Amino acid sequence: MVDRSAVLASQEREASHEEDVRLVEAVAAGDRAALASLYDRHSGILFAVARQLLAERAEVEDLVHDVFLEVWKQAHTYDPARANVRRWLLVRLRSRALDRLRSHSFSRRRSLERDERVAPDDPSGELDARRVAGLLAELGDDQRAVVTLAYFDGLTSSEIAAELGIPIGTVKSRMAAAMQRLRALVEATS
């Protein structure tokens, strides 16, 4: 028996993907309205992910702006065979966020070393990429998969369910268990 809602969701994703590809192609041709439409479609998820990665709202806004500026300049490099548009945007966002975190960390470390207020290897208390990777490594494969798809790929619970071929309830229970485990790990290391 075919699940009509799954079929409809799949058809909606495909239509959305085709519209996104069309918009990126239009942006590559210099269409500002297409860029605005792409922004309207994806800025919400980009802001949500950026807020998870950066502390200050102004930095989050700058980061999302920079990603869309990069899209304006680099839309011609998009390859629909490699990733859907949302994933392409999120990869760019994550890359720029990590660049900013590294840059801030480096600048802060240099400033602290220069001022000799704290040891140069003193942890700043920020979750850096290595710490996040270490925390994620503590999760089981099933939990790590849903967290990665949700926070780094920006998928919704229903999209994760479709991607992994599991029920949405399983996605939600794995996510809840993963968040509980991550909280415990962060508290234990703080």
DSSP character at residue 117: S
The average pLDDT across 113-136 equals 55
Q: Mean pLDDT for the chain?
A: 80
Count CB neighbours of 74 within 10 A: 13
pLDDT number for residue 119: 39
Measured in whole angstroms, the distance separating CA 179 from the mean position of its chain's CA atoms is 16
Residues 6+ apart with CB under 8 A from 4: none
Tell me which of 17 and 3 has the higher pLDDT: 17
What tens digit of pLDDT does each residue of 165-180 get? 888 888 889 888 988 8
List the one residue out of 33, 121, 28, 37 whose CA is nearest residue 73: 28
SS3 133: helix
> Environment class of residue 16 by beta-carbon count within 10 Å: exposed (0-12), middle (13-18) or buried (19+)?
middle
pLDDT number for residue 110: 47
- pLDDT surpassing 80 at residue 31: yes
Residue 122 phi/psi, 5-degree rounding, is -70, 125
Predicted TM-score (pTM) of the model is 0.53
CA gap 101, 127 in Å, rounded:
10
Tell me which of 109 and 21 has the higher pLDDT: 21
pLDDT number for residue 128: 61
- pLDDT surpassing 60 at residue 115: no
Measured in whole angstroms, the distance separating CA 81 from the mean position of its chain's CA atoms is 20
Report the range of poorest mean pLDDT among 10-24, 27-41, 95-109, 136-150.
95-109
Q: Tell me the CATH class for 1-94.
A: mainly alpha
CA gap 155, 105 in Å, rounded:
29
The average pLDDT across 143-159 equals 81
DSSP character at residue 61: H
Per the listing, tokens 């968040």 go with 179
List the one residue out of 39, 30, 27, 98 whose CA is nearest residue 65: 39
CATH assignment of 127-190, among 1.10.10.10, 2.60.40.420, 2.40.170.20, 3.60.20.10: 1.10.10.10
In this structure, which amino acid lies at residue 43? S
**What residue ranges do the domains of the chain occupy?**
1-94, 127-190
